Structure 1
């Protein structure tokens, strides 16, 4: 799973594509109107707001995305959407340079990405930050399991755009990796590892991925470990940058107040400033893990319950059906199967959620919650029973209709900002999806039947294949309270922070 935790240094973290992989949950096609015979409304500015009265039960209008694409001379793939509403643009570079490329040096990808903006020729980290700030520009970066990213938001006026792009190109393509910065960031990572020892959620998450993925590159934490980080050298960072931050390993996404010729010039400038080299191979598919329960003793009043099994990769044709099926099971907020049975009827938790995270190769399907320690075993069995029943019966027609309606209604939010669009473009390019993927996803989702959703969920999930990690104290167990049709006023568990 792409590690969503942003680096804990002088970096702007990027919340990716939920990201990258969760963006599909927000993409929808507006409902078709049957008002063709009614008089056309008066013309309105393209970027003006619509009132609720104007909507009159219809889905809000959406921005039309005309995705243009080409390759640079050095081999970078470019995706561009012209958006003239605001005098600015967003640029995102996505590299196959995540922790799955670490090899035997865990944390190498994270450290390399963290060091990008620590120094370039003639500028240290402070001068770089002041350079972007003085131009009204924002720089961001982050490293995850599948990918590493670097982003720029800048005004589109030439006097601001050109120096911002020059600095961005130097930061991403020609970092100097100063030794004092490496020591500082290593210390920050090591301090973070110490803090995580007091966080049962972090402890459980690391154990879950280790059990789920075994010897696969996805098994180890994106940030590395307390044992691996101290020994990483400057030369290793330079070598990793030279092979993983190449133009041939990059996707360039551009959205904003630019013409096609300006976008081509920007992409060419950025691409030419990167090291030369080919794309890196994606990881091999993981082996099936051994199901079972691992308990980690931890002194707390709550027990964290984490259930997982291997899901799908990003190009699997069943993704629309699985996305919608998971939305009904536990992917939304209130009203899902899991929230209804575990929180609303029994008050066992503040929140229980399920998610598919499709990646370059099979990402995880996970269910997460925490509950009172003395109810943990019975709560775990309840969650397993809910999954078993859902796979056996599938969703109801009403549940499917509601999920489709919610998906369609959320569509305007998915392309309401340039930053959300540039994230979608980065995902389309990185995972080599069709340019029509957004529309395809919505058309396929809205056409799904109950039986198709049920078949897809059963094809990829099985209740007896779960890898389970629990983190909490060993205490005498109690039976669950009886369910009630009324929402519980106060969950029994107290969330921990």
Structure 2
């Protein structure tokens, strides 16, 4: 859950709610934020009851039940072994390209931070161009390059106009960036300095410290245990030679999923995918990390001077393609994943005023990702709050959701699910996940119907199969102070939430 979008360095993204909830949103949830789009032409009368295939205006949607775009996902493999997923969409004169490599920090070996640095250095230099020239090249074409590195994967993306001269020039530059990075020594030194400055800042962030310790306790010797950013001992040792070796192995054509969405024909998409695939090193897919060992439950405390205490609870969850994913997603929305109105938010914030916010979530990954609960609370009430959270989880697993909670969660999901395909950027991200985690091509069509068909007993059974109230690995970060009893639950708590989380 230290995964973040963009370059894997800098001083942002350090508060723990963004740290963990960000990964949950990226990997676990089926929806994404919408973008401004141009309305599509009205559909013929005969197609009124069919799922829309294009973009809809607010006027068209008025008075109708929420629906999502019906996607015709085309799939093939390039001669070099890259898997391609493509959706043709001509509403906007542009296209989105996303490459998803099995090149995350789980492939670091003993050089923690190697995957992050390799990805961050892609656009720092190519033959004949430095980082400024690369940036200017994309800007002059009205194109945008993006990249990021996470535990499971590394990504590189391009958004460009589909007009042939702009498209071809942007793709030629993109092919160089992903296939011929020069990894300049001076750029590596600069990025290392930025990363090291980030490590120093982390020492002042109890949420970050707790998150790092949580993954160590949860995963032990497994590759997920270490941060995607590496650490202050490992990063300085990484050399340009290591970056080049990692690029040749992990950015190989056989180790990538190519997702394409936009104003392209199938013939044009095949040409783009073929060019991208040829530009990459040749090589096979890398094996996924093995399954982690079940950790020993217990509490670890990090002493930290603060008015609040960070509480983090976790246990091993599921892989992204687990057959119980839909039931667990819905069950967690009721427990703590749906914001206001969840069990945790209602009992911990609304009725007792103990926290500004509390969340829970499954993060499905190649190997078993974590199930996490996180919050900050008053230091003098931290022990009681921790016990309250554990009691809420225990009661929920014992009794399951109510029918009203289930119906409300289904209704909310039905209303928000169309956003998962609201823009080309949303769709290309969905295609990348479908290809990377080997989900069925009709996943976006079947997920909502699976959720809507779930019963209280099915959700309860799935949650109990995958969670144990006595199995939590717990990390707390804050001061050791005398404890006070919790206030009783009330609709108007005397003490208001503790305010915006610290740090």
SS of equivalent to 1:24: coil
Question: Take 1:261 and 1:489, find their aligned partners in 2: how far apart are those partners?
Answer: 63
1:33-432 counterparts in 2 under 5 A? 47-51=55-59, 55-56=62-63, 58-432=64-438
Task: Give CA deviations for 1:283-331 in whole Å, capped at 9, x if unaligned.
Answer: 0000000000000000010100000000000111000000000000000
SS of equivalent to 2:431: helix
Task: Give CA deviations for 1:154-212 in whole Å, capped at 9, x if unaligned.
Answer: 00000100010000010001100101001001111001000100011100000000000
Question: Take 2:307 and 2:335, find their aligned partners in 1: how far apart are those partners?
Answer: 27
SS of equivalent to 2:374: strand
Q: Is the 8 A contact 1:16 1:423 kept in 2?
A: no
Are residues 352 and 269 of structure 1, via their aligned partners in 2, closer, same or farther at CA, if it must alter by over 3 Å?
Answer: same
More displaced stretch, 482-491 vs 103-112: 482-491
Question: Take 2:86 and 2:55, find their aligned partners in 1: how far apart are those partners?
Answer: 20
Question: Take 1:260 and 1:5, find their aligned partners in 2: how far apart are those partners?
Answer: 29
Are residues 446 and 413 of structure 1, via their aligned partners in 2, closer, same or farther at CA, if it must alter by over 3 Å?
Answer: same
| Count of matched residue positions in the alignment of Structure 1 and Structure 2 | 484
Q: Is the 8 A contact 2:32 2:426 kept in 1?
A: no
Question: Take 1:378 and 1:176, find their aligned partners in 2: how far apart are those partners?
Answer: 55
The Cα of 1:214 is off from its aligned counterpart by: 0.3
The Cα of 1:444 is off from its aligned counterpart by: 1.2
- Find runs of 4+ consecutive structure 1 residues off by over 2 angstroms: 4-13, 15-20, 22-27, 38-48, 58-62, 485-490, 492-495
Are residues 333 and 489 of structure 1, via their aligned partners in 2, closer, same or farther at CA, if it must alter by over 3 Å?
Answer: farther
Q: Is the 8 A contact 1:138 1:154 kept in 2?
A: yes
Q: Is the 8 A contact 2:77 2:83 kept in 1?
A: yes
Normalised to the residue count of structure 1, the TM-score between the two structures is: 0.93
Task: Give CA deviations for 1:449-468 in whole Å, capped at 9, x if unaligned.
Answer: 00000000000000100000
What corresponds to 1:4 in structure 2?
4
Q: Is the 8 A contact 1:135 1:160 kept in 2?
A: yes
Are residues 377 and 201 of structure 1, via their aligned partners in 2, closer, same or farther at CA, if it must alter by over 3 Å?
Answer: same
Question: Take 2:185 and 2:87, find their aligned partners in 1: how far apart are those partners?
Answer: 39
Among residues 463, 474, 481, which one is paired with 1:457 in the alignment?
463
SS of equivalent to 2:119: helix
Question: Take 1:101 and 1:47, find their aligned partners in 2: how far apart are those partners?
Answer: 39
SS of equivalent to 1:410: helix
Task: Give CA deviations for 1:393-436 in whole Å, capped at 9, x if unaligned.
Answer: 00000000111111111122111111010000000000111101
Normalised to the residue count of structure 2, the TM-score between the two structures is: 0.92
Task: Give CA deviations for 1:80-119 in whole Å, capped at 9, x if unaligned.
Answer: 0011111000000000000000001100000000000000
